[in-house]
Amino acid sequence: MHPLYVPHGRAEAVPIWFVTAASYPHLRDVLSAAARRYADAAGFEPKPGQMLLLPGEEALSGVVFGIEADDKPAKDHFLAGRLPGALPKGIYRFANAPHDERLAALAFALGGYRFARYRAAEDREVRLALPAGVDGAELARIVDGVTLARDLINTPANDLGPAELEEAVRALARRHGAECRAVVGDALLGENFPLIHAVGRAAAAAPRLVDLAWGDPAHPKVTLVGKGVCFDTGGLDIKSDSAMLNMKKDMGGAACVMALAHMIMDRGLKLRLRVLVPAVENAISGAAFRPRDVYRARKGITVEIGNTDAEGRLVLADALALADEEAPELIVDMATLTGAARVALGPELPPFYTNDDALALDLARHAGAENDPLWRMPLWRPYESLLESKTADINNVASGGFAGSVTAALFLDRFVTAARAFVHLDIFAWTPSAKPARPEGGECQAARALYALLAERYAV
């Protein structure tokens, strides 16, 4: 069980009442006279996110916490994530049901996250007695996966380069009894991963492809590919200082697929899992790849470099080609790929792309149910012409500057031809300003929705 949770039924747990403008008058009527007087004197209003601590004779007698009205169409099921940072030390319980008890309990733990590697984070010793019927083990594996992703994304590149990211994958493999191997440095050329090598060869830390395998080979094959660019200068097409500031998060795709892999393996889903992480740093030196260079990718497709700052799709292309050679049932890639996705949908709503309508409907349904928002965008084939090159089969960037996220997805789609289904997620992996259950900094996006989908399909 996660440290923020205690078993259901702890008698000493302080009750938390969730109230709306409509339900608060009833709760007020059943409070003690002293508690009513205190609430009135404090001027409490049952607005979403507002909290009132009710004093008792020797300790807290309860907590009143405002949530959205029942009829509000877009409710924030993670509002309870504000509680761990606001409550005093103690054990608490839900005295009545919020809109979704499971999501509220999950938010409680996610809201208690602190990144403490470089700066001590005090344990506020706030705990939640799990609501009856909520599976604590299931919540714990989700919280552990999210914590893993957040910690990796928040770690700066001086402590998380390609070698350290490889070790993080190996540690995950050891934890779950998975196999793991890596192809490192010039060995990438010998094993036909030219794009991964080209992107990472300028850095002091050698580029690599990390390959984790778990599960019964006879089970349906699911392969996860995560962009592991540990820092992105932009290469010779160098980024501005403001654009480079948060580029430690450019391995967020790798972190999120690792979170998803943990959930899958910890649950023991009946599938054969493979995780591929191309881990590189896009640096600048005399060995850096250049605009107008042309490389023959693992897939046999020749790629002209239109911009060295579009490096993520290059390392993904070789990894996707390897994944596709097994013709798995499903390939999923996650990547902090384009600024265009943020312009279109903002930091909180990652787009996803797939040709499989049934998969798209299932993923959207689980994204809504898990409060892990995603939005389907089109693989609009007419835009493939924007990727045309006069000297190669394809350019790594589109001409014209339009539809950047769509054309990046179309580029990747060229490297998957045998898999039964393919979905690409263009994530941000970062929360710019703190929100309930989502502290500012690294964020695990899409993994919870994908895990729910895979659990529905492959649960034992």
Which tokens is 427 given?
Answer: 């994530």
The DSSP secondary-structure symbol of 96 reads: S
Q: Pick from 249, 231, 312, 158: which is nearest to 441 by CA?
A: 249
pTM above 0.85, yes or no: yes
pLDDT tens digits along 129-150: 999 999 999 999 999 999 999 9
What does DSSP assign to residue 85? T
Per-residue pLDDT of 166-218, as tens digits, reads: 999 999 999 999 999 999 999 999 999 999 999 999 999 999 999 999 999 99
Average pLDDT value for residue range 344-360: 98
pLDDT single digits (tens) 71-97 = 888 889 999 999 999 999 999 999 999
Overall average pLDDT of the 262-286 stretch: 98
Dump the DSSP string for 140-209.
HHHHHHHHHHHHHHHS-TTT-SHHHHHHHHHHHHHHHT-EEEEEETTHHHHTT-HHHHHHHTTSSSPPEE
Instruction: For residue 97, give both structure tokens.
Output: 């049901």
Q: What are phi and psi of 354, to 5 degrees?
A: -160, 155
The percentage of residues in the chain with a pLDDT greater than 90, rounded to a whole number, is 93
**DSSP 8-state symbol, 385:** G
239 carries an active-site annotation? yes
- Give tens-digit pLDDT for 22-57: 999 999 998 889 899 999 999 999 999 999 999 988
Place of tokens 């761990």: 84
Cβ 169 vs Cβ 258: under 8 Å: yes
Alpha helices in 32-74 (DSSP H): 33-42
Query: Average pLDDT, whole number, for the chain?
Result: 96
Does residue 9 surpass a pLDDT of 90?
no
Terminal-residue alpha carbon distance, the chain: 21
Q: Is the pLDDT of residue 18 over 90?
A: yes
CB 43 within 8 A of CB 62: no
DSSP string, 300-369: S-EEE-S-TT--HHHHHHHHHHHHHTT--SEEEEEE---HHHHHHH-TT--EEEES-HHHHHHHHHHHHH
Task: Compute the distance between CA of residue 335 and CA of residue 227 in angstroms, rounded to an integer.
Answer: 5
Enumerate domains of the chain plus CATH numbers: 5-134 (3.40.220.10), 141-458 (3.40.630.10)
CB 299 within 8 A of CB 321: yes
376 membership: H or E segment, kind and range: strand 375-376
Residue-wise pLDDT for 418-444, tens only, equals 999 999 999 999 999 999 999 999 999
Q: Decide if pLDDT at 410 tops 90.
A: yes
> What value does the CA radius of gyration of the chain take, rounded to a whole number of Å?
24
For 127, other C-beta atoms within 10 Å of its C-beta total: 23
Options 28, 124, 239, 365, the catalytic residue: 239
Residue 74 gets the label, from left (phi > 0), alpha (psi -120 to 50) or beta, of: beta
List pLDDT tens digits, range 214-232.
999 999 999 999 999 999 9
Residue 58 scores a pLDDT above 90: no
CA 70 – CA 391 distance, rounded (Å): 59
Question: Which residue carries 């579009």 as its tokens?
Answer: 310
Q: What is the 3-state secondary structure (H, E, C) of 219-241?
A: CCEEEEEECEEEEECCCCCCCCH
Which position has the token pair 């094959």?
A: 221
Which neighbouring-strand residues pair with 296?
302
Residue that the structure tokens 């999923």 belong to: 332
User: Residue 332 in contact with residue 425, Cβ under 8 Å?
Assistant: yes
Which residue in 75, 150, 313, 438 is the catalytic one? Answer: 313
Rounded-to-10 torsion of CA 393, 395, 401, 403: 70
User: Is 313 part of the annotated catalytic residue set?
Assistant: yes
What number is the average pLDDT over the span 404-412? 98
Cα 326–Cα 230–Cα 443 angle in degrees, nearest 5: 90
Q: Are 248 and 348 in contact (CB under 8 A)?
A: no
**Spatial distance between the Cα atoms of 129 and 143, rounded to a whole number of angstroms:** 16
